Structures are given as C-alpha cells and as structure tokens.
Amino acid sequence: MRRFAPRAVLLGLAAPVGALVFAVLVCAVVLAATGHSLFDTIDAMVTAAQRPRTFVNSLNSATQYYLAAIAVAIGFRMKLFNIGVDGQYRLAAMLSAALAGATWMEGLPSVLRITMTIVAAMLVGAAWAGVAALLKVTRGISEVISTIMLNAIATYLVSYLLNPARLAEERPGSNNIGTRPITEGGQVGGIPVSGSSSDLFGLVFLAAAVGFAYWFVLSRTRFGFELKATGLSESAAVASGISVKKMVLLSMLLSGAVAGLVGLPQLLGSSHEYSLDFPPGIGFIGIAVALLGRNHPIGMALAAVLWGLLDNSANALDLAGVPREIVGIMQGVIVLSVVIAYELVRRYRVRTEQREVGKALGSTRDPAADGPKDDNREEASA
Amino acid sequence: MTAGLSVRAGSTPPARGKRKLPALAWVGAIAAVLLVLSAVRVFAGATDLTSSGTVQAALTAAVPLAMAALAGMWAERAGVINIGLEGMMVLGTFGAGFAGYQWGPWAGVVFGLLLGAIGGLLHAVATVTFGVDHIISGVAINLLAPGLALFLSKLYFSDAPGGGQKQSPRIDDAQKITIPGLSDVLGAVEDKRWFFVSDVAGMLRGLVTQVSLLTVLAALLIAGSVWLLWHTPFGLRLRSCGEAPVAAESLGVNVYKYKYLAVTASGAFAGLGGAFLAVSSGQFRDGQTSGRGFIGLAAMIFGNWRPGGLAAGASLFGYTDAMALRGSAAVHALLLLLGIALVVVAVLQLRSGHHVLSSVAGFLGVLFGFWYFSSDAVPAELVGAAPYVVTLLVLGLASQRLRPPKFIGAPYLRGQGK
C-alpha cells in the first residue's frame, strides 16, 4: 500500500488546514464588515495564548474535549451518532459528584475513593447511553433521535436532583447550589506549572490513557476490527458472522462509559462539586473535535488543544473591544468547512483512483497498447 | 459517508390500507379524549386542565413548536434530515429581535423567516451539493448559529435603548383577535363547571379568545403545506425525492432543485418559529429557544411525518408546557392522563398481537397511575421533560405505526442510479 506516500499525507492535511484558513477568512470578513480590525483580534488572541495561565487552562479544557471526542469517535467509527454524550457526561458528573462528596466516603483510602468515583461515572454514562442502545437494538429507533431526547431528559433530571431537598446543598451568600464538596482525599491533585496560577489537571493522564486504549482497541484487537468493519460495511460484517446488534450495544455502552469521564477532570481537579455553573455543552464540542480530528487519537488531541486555545484566548478579546463570540462563529465555520473539505478531498481521491484504474484497465484491454507506446499514452493523458 | 447504521427490529411490517378510519371514528376518538379529560378534571379537581386560560397558553406555546415541526417535515419529506432546526430557530429569534424593535412585529417575522432561510440554504449547500452527512451538518449549524446570534446581538443591541448584550429592546406583540359574541357565551358556560359541557366550552373559548394573528398564520401555513405537498404535482415531486430520488430522477425530476427548495423552506419555517417565539415573548433573548427545535423534531416524529399529526404533537407538547406554568394540581393530573394513555396503547398493542410491547406499555401505565395515587405533586423540574419522555414512549411502544420517508438521510448524487 502507498499509505504513506507524500501526496496522501498532503491530501490528508489539506482538509483541516484548508478549513482553518477558510474559517479565518470568514471571520476576517465578519470583523471587517462590523468595523473591527482583524490584526488587533489576532494580536489579542496570540498574546493571550502565550500567557502560561491561558495555556494551562487551554490544556485543561482540551482534556475534557478530548474525552468527549473519543466518546463520540467510538460511535462514529461504527456510523453510530452518539449525540447524547452531552447528557451522559452531565448526569454522570452530577451523580458521581454526589457519591464522591458523600460523608461515608471520607473514611475510605484516597485511591479507592477516586477509583469508585471514576467507575461510578463510567457506569452512569454507560447506563444512560444504554437506554438509547436498547431502543435501537430492540425497536430499531435511530440513536440520533433517542439521544437528543435523552439529553433533554438528563437536563431536567439533573435540575431535579440538584435541589437542596435531594442531592445538593445551598451555598450561603450566593444563589448557587451544588453537591456536597469533595474533601481532600477524594480529589485529584493538579500539576503546578511555573508562571501559571492554575494547575494542570491531574486527570490529563486519564485522558491520555483513554486515548491510548482507544487506539489500541481499534487497531490491535478483534473487537476493534469488528467495530470498524461494521461501520465500513454492515452487510459485509453480517456476512462474516458479526452480530450487528451486539456491536451496537457494546459500542454504545463503551461510548457512554467514556462520556461519563468527561466531567471528571474538572470535578476532581478544580471545582470539587457539581453546581449550577458546571460547564455544559462539552458533548457537542466533542462532536466538533472528533470531526476535526477525523476520529484519529492524535488528530483529536490536536483538535482538542486547538479548541481549548480558541475558547480560552477568547476572554482576551473583550478587552480588545471585539465581541468574544467571534470565536464561536469561527468554531462553527471550522466544523462546517472541515466536513465539506473532507468530502471534497474524498471525491478527489476517488476520481484519481478511478482514473488510474481506468488507465490500467484500458492498457490491458487494448492489445495494441503493449510496449513503449503505452508510456506515451499515459503521458498524454496525465 | 452514508447514513447511520440501520438495525432492523424484528417487528412485522405495518398492515397498510386496512386501517383507514372513517371520519365518524375520528370524531368519536376526539370525543372520547375530551370525556377522559373532563373525567380526570372532575376527579382530580384540576380546573386548569381544561380552562380557557390553559388552552390559550398552550396555543401560544405550541405555535413555535408546530413551525419547527413543519420545518422538519419539509426537509425530511425531501429526504434531508434537519437536526439544525434549533440553530435556524435561533437565527429566527435574532432576526425578529433586530427588525422587530425597529420596524414592528411583522417586519420581525419577515426578518426571522429570511435569516432562517439562510440557515436552511447553508444546510442545503452542505448536504445536497457537497453530500456531507446530514446529522453532522445539522450539528455544525447548531454550533454556529448561537455564536453568530450572540455576536450580532452584542453588536446591535448593546447600545440600543432598552436592549442589552444578550437581549433586544422590546418588540410589540402582533394583533390579537377575539370572536366577540361566541367568546362571551362560551365563557358563561365554562364558569358553570358542568361535567364535559363546560370543559368543551372552556377549550373552545381558549381557541376563539385573544388569538394572535401569528397563530392564525401558523394554522394557515400548516393547512397550506397539506395542500402543497399532498395535492399538487410539485408536492408529489418533492416527496418522491425523499422516497426514491433515483426513480424521481428517471422521470425527469430535478432532485437537487427540489431538495434545495425543501431545505431552504425548512429553514424559513424554523426561522418563522423562532420569530414567533421572540415576538410573542416581547423580545429576543440569548438561549430563548432552549431546545424547542428538538421538541419540534419530536413533534414531527410523534406526528408520523404528516402535517395533521405534527400539529397534534405540537399541541400536546404545548399543552404540557402551558401546564407547567399553571400550577401543580394540573401537572399532577397529567400523570393520570399519561397512565390512561399508556393503558390504551397496551390494549391496542394486545389486539394487534404484540404481547411484549403490550405488557411493557401496561406496566408503565400502571407505574404512572401508581405514581399519581402515591404522591401529591410532581416536582416542577420534571414537568419540562414530558415532551421528550412522551416521544421516547411513542417511539418505543408504537413505532410500527410510524413510517419515515424511505430515502431519508442517505446521500444522493445525481446520476447514481445509472
């Protein structure tokens, strides 16, 4: 195979880079049309991104985006759309925060406490995704629809549980409510970075481990092979004895379990409680990051860091007099243009392949095309 | 990319044709529903269940949902899934806020429609021309639209009188109409609290009192869609693109053109829904749609991809929405209604031989009934989840009656049938 041919690599990079350039262009037009300076905007963002604190915060955000992206990607590799990562992580973060903060947990050794929290979050995430999987396997309901519904139900369920009468307690002096704070033994310490007032999340290693496991399972195990095969061709998978229903159930559960982890770096690393201001919407960012990184473990990591940088350097824009929402526009344009770019590259690839195959076949079919004449013709058509 | 993985459930194909109910049966069914409603109203003492005020509030809540559902139907009938409804609605709310406070509510409606149509056009370019997966394009639009709306709102509303960074100045509401004599007579009957008669009078009164012209417009648009999609050659061609585009192409239908039209119209309807939301609540606010695009999608599925059905679905979801605003007794009574509905589903499924489904439905029905009798109130936080739970129940328990367009979500390239 010529998988590592320079042209293939170039084509692979063309889509994301092209999309980025296009997004910057669109933003430049928007900024110009609304009377802001593109140069000032970029300057403000780049200056902000170079500050150690912004950089650490970006990596912290990226940790969560990366986990969300992997949860989404597990489904994507099988052509399953787990739109429900958002609801899964919020429900999982809320319930595991309640568990980790519970008084009876305080007597347990730290390692056990953290492990229990992580396992609980994975179980909740998997269970919530499992509802969608079950509906798909038994009743043939599209997981897109059911996970959209489950996202909304999760929102109401979390607001129901996050009530002083149930799993939460009030914060005196503010109108925020949250679960009981996790005490020292249940927290995961951060990694201090010089020059930055905030620490790097300790669970960044968990994200890296999940990324490695994702790569390993998909490319080195039979399960991963079956998962990819089902995604590439359902009929071929069935013909080779793969039970599609079993694969749907398993991959959805796995995706949900990883989704359950999304909130943990923040929960155990900095906020130590699930409260009203816990960041929402990371599930949808995960979809964007998985698309941008093409479901590849390293691609998604780069995309997650990019997303984190964009998000965290946006804060500096308000000081420069530019509405920070320009970053939201840029992110949306990146996603839309990157999927279009990938499609264009795919079409281009198919066309060149067809041309090459056509050329090869044409020369064997034509008896007069033997010998040196063949080369001439190839040159003429190239 | 192709559409998502399809898992065929082992259910029998729907028996089509034999279930054509005569008009009289429909009247009977509606009467039965009203009878159950009145019975529950009397039994639970929840006057708000059938009061004219509830119906008015339900109507106001249902209109944006119905428009979103109609938007979904237009796109999906042409074979394009539109998850981006939510984003297009957001664009609509901004458009309505922007034009509404400067030039009046109807300018707002027009602007909302236009911005929504632009969102639809974007979705059409991505899905039809470039063959991007419909779900992905929709998700991208949902990411893009709120950012854009917030950016523009900061830009245009921050310095406007009465506006803020995340909200527009006030928009005047559209005109409201009341049918004078009828409304008063019905009101008199409603106040008597007679079983059934007063309930019907109350609900009718809600439909003829202080009805916004926007609501009338929405009803006309739904009726117009029925005519256009099911009674004209244009509609037949559009729907053929969602059922069998290759066959349509072989008969000379320009599939791309129809898909573009349908998806742009879809965006326009969604934008209209957003505009209605902004105008009827008096201003544009950030996050105003709060998932209504998705409820619209749910209403469309509930309504089996048909205008009448989606109107019923939107009314039902609007009704629960209104109920949530109107006190806990009525909400509590909803539990009993849901239980009764599930038992009815169980009986229907039993009659058509689906024993497992029937027992699941029956079990859930009994569970809701038990919840009703063992509690005094439903937590307010859970009421909002009702539309989503109902949709999941409908999908799970009655999905053999649902039939989406056949070619939905699949990529289509011109000439692929050759």
Residues of B in contact with A325 (CB under 8 A): 147-148, 150-151, 154
Inter-chain contacts counted by CB atoms under 8 A, chains A and B:
162
Interatomic CA distance for residues A322 and A23, integer angstroms: 17
In a domain, A28, yes or no: no
Using CB atoms, pick whichever of B140, B154, B291 lies closest to residue A332: B140
Q: What per-residue confidence (pLDDT) applies to B14? A: 46
The tens digit of pLDDT for each residue in A18-62 reads 888 998 899 899 888 888 888 888 888 888 888 899 999 999 999
Domain with residue B59: its CATH number is 1.10.3470
Interatomic CA distance for residues B410 and B218, integer angstroms: 30
B186 and B57 within one domain: yes
Task: Put residue B162 in one of left, alpha, beta given phi > 0 → left and psi -120 to 50 → alpha.
Answer: left
In a domain, B234, yes or no: yes
What ipTM was assigned to the predicted interfaces of this complex?
Answer: 0.85
Interatomic CA distance for residues A304 and A310, integer angstroms: 10
Over residues A194-199, mean pLDDT: 84
Using CB atoms, pick whichever of B4, B151, B379 lies closest to residue A160: B379
In a domain, B416, yes or no: no
| Residue count (chain B) | 418
Cα dihedral A302/A74/B292/B364 (nearest 10): -150
> How many domains in chain A?
1
In a domain, A106, yes or no: yes
The tens digit of pLDDT for each residue in A200-230 reads 999 999 999 999 999 999 999 999 999 999 9
Q: What per-residue confidence (pLDDT) applies to B32? A: 86
Lowest mean pLDDT among A175-179, A377-381, B312-316: A377-381
Q: Is B411 on the interface with A (CB under 8 A)?
A: no
Q: Is A169 helix (H, G, I), strand (E, B) or coil?
A: strand
B315 and B180 within one domain: yes
For every residue of B85-133, DSSP letters joined together read HHHHHHHHHHHHHHHHHHH-HHHHHHHHHHHHHHHHHHHHIIIIIS---
Q: Where are the beta strands (DSSP E) in chain A?
A: 168-170, 177-179
How far off is chain B from A272, nearest CA to CA, in Å?
A: 24
Q: Do B140 and A335 touch (CB under 8 A)?
A: yes
Q: What per-residue confidence (pLDDT) applies to B134? A: 92
Q: Is B144 on the interface with A (CB under 8 A)?
A: yes
Regarding predicted confidence, which is higher, B199 or A150?
A150
Q: What per-residue confidence (pLDDT) applies to B7? A: 58
Which domain range does residue B369 map to?
327-408
Residues of B in contact with A159 (CB under 8 A): 381
Over residues B115-121, mean pLDDT: 97
B273 and B221 within one domain: yes
Percentage above 70 pLDDT, chain B: 93
In a domain, B238, yes or no: yes
Residue keyed to tokens 């620490």: A199
Over residues B359-379, mean pLDDT: 89
Percentage above 70 pLDDT, chain A: 93
B65 and B121 within one domain: yes
Indicate the pLDDT class of residue A381, thresholds 50, 70 and 90: very low
Q: Are A332 and B147 in contact (CB under 8 A)?
A: yes
Task: Look at residue A366 and tell me whether its pLDDT is greater than 70.
Answer: no
Using CB atoms, pick whichever of A143, A156, A287 lies closest to residue B139: A287
Q: Do A135 and B392 touch (CB under 8 A)?
A: yes
Give residues with Cβ within 8 angstroms of A202, minimum separation 6.
A188, A189, A190, A191, A265, A268, A269
The tens digit of pLDDT for each residue in B297-310 reads 989 988 889 999 99
The tens digit of pLDDT for each residue in B252-261 reads 999 999 999 9
**What is the distance, to the nearest Å, from the Cα of residue A101 to the centroid of all Cα atoms in its chain?**
28
Q: Do A336 and B122 touch (CB under 8 A)?
A: yes
Interatomic CA distance for residues B222 and B62, integer angstroms: 13
Over residues B284-289, mean pLDDT: 90
Lowest mean pLDDT among A150-159, A163-172, B148-157, B278-287: A163-172
Interatomic CA distance for residues A377 and A311, integer angstroms: 54
Indicate the pLDDT class of residue B352, thresholds 50, 70 and 90: confident
Indicate the pLDDT class of residue A372, thresholds 50, 70 and 90: very low
In a domain, B2, yes or no: no
Give residues with Cβ within 8 angstroms of A34, minimum separation 6.
B155
Using CB atoms, pick whichever of A34, A139, A231 lies closest to residue B395: A139
Q: Are B114 and B271 in contact (CB under 8 A)?
A: yes
Regarding predicted confidence, which is higher, B3 or A186?
A186
In a domain, A278, yes or no: yes
Percentage above 90 pLDDT, chain A: 48
Task: Look at residue A370 and tell me whether its pLDDT is greater than 70.
Answer: no
Interatomic CA distance for residues A266 and A188, integer angstroms: 10
B264 and B338 within one domain: no
In a domain, B253, yes or no: yes
In a domain, A373, yes or no: no
Q: What per-residue confidence (pLDDT) applies to B6? A: 59
Residue keyed to tokens 């749907």: A248
Q: Do B126 and A339 touch (CB under 8 A)?
A: yes
Which domain range does residue A144 map to?
69-303
Task: Look at residue A190 and tell me whether its pLDDT is greater than 90.
Answer: no
Lowest mean pLDDT among A11-20, A265-274, A301-310, A335-344: A11-20
In a domain, A358, yes or no: no
Tokens of B174: 């559209």
In a domain, B204, yes or no: yes
Indicate the pLDDT class of residue A376, thresholds 50, 70 and 90: very low
Q: What per-residue confidence (pLDDT) applies to A282? A: 94
Residues of B in contact with A295 (CB under 8 A): none
In a domain, A369, yes or no: no
Residues of B in contact with A287 (CB under 8 A): 136, 139
Using CB atoms, pick whichever of A81, A144, A152 lies closest to residue B388: A152
Residue ranges of B 80-119 with Cβ closer than 8 A to chain A: 81, 83
Among residues A254, A231, A256, A295, the alpha carbon closest in space to that of A147 is found at A256
Q: Is B147 on the interface with A (CB under 8 A)?
A: yes
How far off is chain B from A135, nearest CA to CA, in Å?
A: 7
Q: Which amino acid is at B245?
A: P
Classify residue A263 by its DSSP letter.
T
Indicate the pLDDT class of residue B243, thresholds 50, 70 and 90: very high
B82 and B61 within one domain: yes
Q: Is B301 on the interface with A (CB under 8 A)?
A: yes
Q: Do A331 and B147 touch (CB under 8 A)?
A: yes
In a domain, A54, yes or no: no
Task: Look at residue B250 and tell me whether its pLDDT is greater than 80.
Answer: yes
Which of B326, B354, B369 finishes a domain? B326
Interatomic CA distance for residues A225 and B46, integer angstroms: 58
Q: Are A47 and A316 in contact (CB under 8 A)?
A: yes
Q: What per-residue confidence (pLDDT) applies to B118? A: 97
In A, minimum Cα distance to B144 occurs at A332
Q: What per-residue confidence (pLDDT) applies to B386? A: 83
In a domain, B13, yes or no: no
Task: Look at residue B91 and tell me whether its pLDDT is greater than 80.
Answer: yes
Indicate the pLDDT class of residue B19, thresholds 50, 70 and 90: low
- Whole-number average pLDDT of chain B: 87
Q: What per-residue confidence (pLDDT) applies to B328? A: 66
> How many domains in chain B?
2
Which of B308, B326, B344 finishes a domain? B326
Indicate the pLDDT class of residue B59, thresholds 50, 70 and 90: very high
Residues of B in contact with A81 (CB under 8 A): 4, 135
In a domain, A245, yes or no: yes
- Whole-number average pLDDT of chain A: 88
B225 and B182 within one domain: yes
Task: Look at residue B169 and tell me whether its pLDDT is greater than 50.
Answer: yes
Q: Do B143 and A144 touch (CB under 8 A)?
A: no
Regarding predicted confidence, which is higher, B44 or B285?
B285
B244 and B141 within one domain: yes
Q: Is B360 helix (H, G, I), strand (E, B) or coil?
A: helix
Which of B326, B361, B392 finishes a domain? B326
Q: Are A76 and A230 in contact (CB under 8 A)?
A: no
| Residue count (chain A) | 382
